[in-house]
Structures are given as C-alpha cells and as structure tokens.
Amino acid sequence: QQQVKQSPQSLIVQKGGISIINCAYENTAFDYFPWYQQFPGKGPALLIAIRPDVSEKKEGRFTISFNKSAKQFSLHIMDSQPGDSATYFCAASFNKFYFGSGTKLNVKP
C-alpha cells in the first residue's frame, strides 16, 4: 500500500515553462514533506521541504504548495531549464520517510 501517491510518472516541458508535480497522502500524522531531485547515476538530494503549518514555501524557482485539508502537495518549477531534467520524488515523514514513485522530468531546449 503506497502511502504517498505521485503524478505524473513523466513530464515533458519546454524551456521556460512551468513544471508541476503532484503528490497526495492519507496519513494525517505526516509532519514533514520534502522533495528530492535525482540525476542519472546519482543519489537523490534534498531540493526543498515544507511542514504542514505552512501553505507555501518558495526557494528560487522552486515552490511547494501544500493543501492540508485536501492532503495534497505539489512542486512547481518556474522557468524550467534543461538542467532541471531529472527524476523528482516527493516524500512524507512521520516515523520514517515514505517516498512517492517519482516523476521523470524532461525539459526540452
């Protein structure tokens, strides 16, 4: 049973466009929601994270939107660049991390 559901599985965006990846969870005990970025041949690395007492967090071109009542959160990448092409994982944490299934983002030049 997957605790965190992520969509879409893959995403193609033109350079300069907005990339949006969505995640949903069921367990209201989750209290930390990070996004990890993974390049081919590398391990995942923390990109940005949010706690449920905040509805939005922005770091540069990356924004997390969090909807506690809907139990959903999303990653928005503004002005997407080819260098953003990677696999993105959402996660939710309570006593351990539960990862989404990943979204492979391809930003076309």
Partner 1 sequence: DTAVSQTPKYLVTQMGNDKSIKCEQNLGHDTMYWYKQDSKKFLKIMFSYNNKELIINETVPNRFSPKSPDKAHLNLHINSLELGDSAVYFCASSQEGQGVGGELFFGEGSRLTVL
Query: Chain-centre distance of CA 30, in angstroms?
Result: 15
For residues 81 and 101, which CB has a smaller minimum distance to partner 1 in the complex?
101
Which of 23, 34, 64, 80: binder of partner 1 (CB under 8 A)?
34
Min separation Cβ 49 and partner 1, Å? 7
Classify each residue of 2-35 as buried b or exposed e, where b means 16 or more C-beta atoms within 10 Å of its C-beta: ebbebbeeebebeeeeebbbbbbbeeeebeebbb
Q: Which two tokens stand for residue 20?
A: 């949006």
46 touching partner 1, by CB under 8 A: yes
Please give the single-letter amino acid code of residue 84: D
Among 1, 69, 96, 109, binds partner 1 (CB under 8 A): 96
Residue numbers at the binding site for partner 1 (CB under 8 A) = 31-32, 34, 36, 38, 41-46, 49, 51, 87, 89, 93-97, 99, 101-102, 104
